Structure 1
Amino acid sequence: MKIDRAVGSWMLLIALIVGCQRSPESATQTQRDPSRPIRVLTTTGMVADLARNVGGDQVEVVQLLGPGTDPHLYKPTRDDVQSILGADVVFYSGLMLEGKMGDTLVRAGRSKPVWAVTEAIDETYLLEPEDAQGHFDPHVWNDIQAWSQCIEVVRKALADFDPDHADDYQANAAKYQQQLSELHEFGLRSMQTIPAENRILVTSHDAFNYFGRAYDLQVLGVQGLSTESEAGLQRINGLVDLLIDKKVRAVFVESSVPRKNIEALVNGAASRGQEVKIGGELFSDAMGAAGSYEGTYVGMMDHNITRVVRALGGEAPERGLNDKLSE
């Protein structure tokens, strides 16, 4: 992805500041000041949720990208640079998800611990779609089992920075791992209730390929892996043909992507005499509102699983696994 001149200037700024700070070796020797919480800087909500669950009371988490923010397109601001520089530990998703922030984060790693949480996932587990230009699909959190592997990266990073609380981080990580295991089992059970002919998931962009692999769904996105790609008329018409041929019951909008392409599918099918409903809004690249159940990773995935299952003709509790869904 091309970095514009403004973003390039911030990368130069951070390089100059970092160059005047500690040497690269000192980043691994930093110890916690016990008089205050660890300042943890994260990019997406999903990464922030990892840090909060594993860090517990020992961390103060700052999340750069809020609800509804598209990480593919987000450009770091002056305040972001200062937040990164002021953090003790930085976690980001990786796999080029934060495309316009990548170089900034790498440069920050010269003066402090900076971790891509997805580095724990073996490359053989990652998806590499044909149109991804040799890059792995970064949307790994949509496979709960894959995202569970990222817990260990956060646990180790915090334990290295703050060894006095290593046992606490281990206990928190184990508890969170159990929650995610139960959520995945809920997904498996619920998805199996969708009739075979209805197991087609059509969304705004290709964010759900890991979700589809985990739960045996055929997944189709109007746009490509990144929302920078544009959906052409040929792609829209081809998907309308599929909706009609397969008698697809519902399609889904995404919270961080404009609705227009999905609405074009619905209108295209309607013009040819078939009703296709919008099955609801899914959380793809961002979680729900801060402070809400859907504003947690468990709540986000509970919402997505429940909405997909019910819209495609399966059986799941209306308010999800934990009876907490707000819609």
Structure 2
Amino acid sequence: MRAAQLSAGLALSATLLAITGCAQASGDGAGDRPLVVVSTNILGDVVDEIVGDEADVLVLMQRNADPHSFEISAKEAARIQDADLIVSNGLGLEEGLQKNLDAATNAGVRSITAGELIEPLEYSSGDAAGAPDPHFWTDPARMVEVVAGIAEELEKTDGIDASVIAANAAEYTAQLDDLDAEMTAAFAAIPGERRQLVTNHHVFGYLAERYDFTVIGAVIPGGTTLAAPSASDLDDLVSAIEKAGVSTIFADSSQPDRLVQVLADEASIDVDVVALFTESLGERGEGADTYLQMMRSNTELIATGLSP
């Protein structure tokens, strides 16, 4: 009996080891397939959809992280050097990671920057005025351009079947077109006088341009969460909110909403604070597992929050 139990235990241990080994190979890009390293989890999800089984995808940014401030381990920094292709957001987004990306590129690792595949908007106000806005993923139409550019670069990668990449990219582009149509329909129901956005920092410039919103302002008057608002900044924003009659303020889920709540409390109007996934995917089961789910969830929350 004990021998049978021991045999079963050894078999179970061997199975668990095999499963663990497979999980580690998939997670860190080990194995015979090409390795694609992606900086943010939003782009990581998109790249994963395009790549399919043609390569291992290593995403550096954890879920629910802040892309402006996250950093990586020494082990991950070393893995970047082994990549067959690096995909980054660019336009100043990955502030805590840029030195690692630059080091890999300088060492000869092939890379593509998504922000260079689109015509970027510029911030119109705050400390970042005139600088490029890196939050292009809030516009699905621009993401179509990003998918096309990334797919083209993946097709050039040794060990990858270009025809598979082309087919996957075409299928995902169709899903982006569907998303764009859904967002257009949902936002069309919001009255013109209520199509005004206030966020914790400037993340919705591209969404506002595509779907005809006005960005009233942000609690942090810039494109990065690493800045801090002054008292005069908050006073100006409170005045703008009161003048526009804004009913809802949107805060990113990866950042504490304390400042946003303080602002809402200071404004002498009834203002709701709604958390959105704007710069990072959520954990599995949070309703923002993928880029498409994140955008659909945000669309529903914005449409509900701004409706009469």
Measured against the shorter chain, the TM-score band is 0.7 to 0.9
Instruction: Identify the match of residue 41 of structure 2 among 45, 51, 74.
Output: 45
Question: C-alpha separation between the residues in 1 aligned to 2:123 and 2:201?
Answer: 15
Q: Look up the match of 1:146.
A: 142
CA distance in 1 between partners of 2:136 and 2:52 (Å): 23
CA distance in 2, matches of 1:47, 1:282: 18
With over 3 angstroms needed to count, the CA separation of the structure-2 counterparts of 1:291 and 1:49, relative to structure 1, is: farther
Q: SS of the residue aligned with 1:36?
A: coil
5+ long unaligned stretches in structure 1: 1-34, 315-327
The percent identity for this pair of structures is 28
8 Å Cα contact 1:50/1:154 also seen in 2: no
Residue 306 in 1 paired to residue 303 in 2? no
* Distance in 2 (alpha carbons) for counterparts of 1:120 and 1:201: 27
Helix, strand or coil at the partner of 1:239: helix
Which residue pairs with 1:159 in the alignment? 155
Structure 2 segments unaligned to the other structure (5+ residues): 1-30
1:134-183 Cα distance to aligned partner (Å, 9 max, x none): 42111111111112211122211211013751011001000000100110
- Which residue of the other structure, out of 259, 266, 269, is the alignment partner of 2:257? 259
The letter of the residue matching 1:302 is R
Q: Quote the RMSD (CA, aligned, Å).
A: 1.9
* Structure 1 residue 84: Cα displacement: 0.9
- Determine whether 1:56 maps to 2:52: yes
Change (3 A) 1:144 1:69: same
Residue 259 of structure 1 and its aligned partner are, at CA, apart by 0.6
Corresponding residue for residue 291 of structure 2 = 297
CA contact (8 A) 1:294 1:303 kept: yes
Moved more, 126-135 or 145-154: 126-135
User: Is the contact between residue 42 and residue 64 of structure 1 (CA under 8 Å) also seen in structure 2?
Assistant: yes
Residue 268 of structure 1, CA deviation:
0.8
What is residue 228 of structure 1 aligned with on the other side?
Answer: 226
Q: 1:187 to 1:118 in 2, by over 3 A?
A: same
Find the partner of 1:114 among 105, 108, 111: 111
Q: CA deviation at 1:117?
A: 1.7
Residue matched to 2:244:
246
Assess if the C-alpha contact under 8 Å between 1:287 and 1:300 holds in 2. Answer: yes
Indicate the residue corresponding to 1:320 in structure 2.
none
Give the Cα separation in 2 of the matches to 1:287 and 1:46: 6
Distance 1:268 1:164, change over 3 A: closer
TM-score of the pair, normalised by structure 1: 0.79
Contact 1:129–1:137 (CA<8 Å) still a contact in 2?
Answer: no
Between structure 1 and structure 2, the one with the greater Rg is 2
Alpha-carbon offset, residue 185 of structure 1: 0.9
Preserved contact between residue 54 and residue 160 of structure 2 (Cα < 8 Å) = no
Q: 2:121 aligns with which of 121, 126, 132?
A: 126
Q: Whole-Å Cα distance in 2 between the matches of residues 75 and 307 of structure 1?
A: 30
Partner deviation per Cα, 1:273-312 (whole Å, 9 max, x = no partner) = x21112x211122112146651211011111111000110
Q: Which residue of 2 aligns with 1:96?
A: 92
8 Å contact kept, 2:122–2:130: no
TM-score (norm 2): 0.83
Say if 1:85 and 1:290 are closer, same or farther in 2 by CA, change over 3 A.
Answer: farther
Which one-letter code corresponds to 2:118 in the other structure?
I
